[in-house]
Copies of this chain bind each other. A is one copy, B any other.
């Protein structure tokens, strides 16, 4: 069945991805593991794990140890590739041309002002942080057998400082 296929690195992105992406995705393919598999063993959320692969999230030394053993990657090499601070946002062209990701962008485009109005009325003048932030993806199947994807965004509310 198509859904058992694992996510791999796409060759059209190769130049935009940091070094560790190549190492990690290759090992993942060799082990034939899904992100869910890795996340369970690593003890982190699967979105966070995918974000690490794409260079969008940081790892602790313990994460590196575990990833090294889960994926069978040489420790020193992985430590070196994951040593720095992530440079987030380099991977994606905006607006996204990939249809799946465009749909998320379209939600922001269409509902952005509505979210702002609701959030302002609920919390006052401020923002929902994208830094003190976590997210998860869930799957739901309704009674007619249709699948639904549920993405939850949870961010700390930061009120604008008064000065």
Contact = CB atoms under 8 A, between A and B. Distances in A.
B157 A133 contact: no
A77 interface: no
B121 A6 contact: yes
A7 B88 contact: no
A113 B133 contact: no
A83 B86 CA distance: 28
Nearest to A91: B113
Given A104-B112, A131-B160, A84 B8 contact: yes
A2 B85 CA distance: 10
Contacts of A95: 94-95
Interface residues of A, number: 110
B87 A109 contact: no
Interface in A94-140: 94-137, 139-140
A110 B124 contact: no
Contacts of A107: 130, 133, 135, 153
Contacts of A123: 3, 139, 147, 149
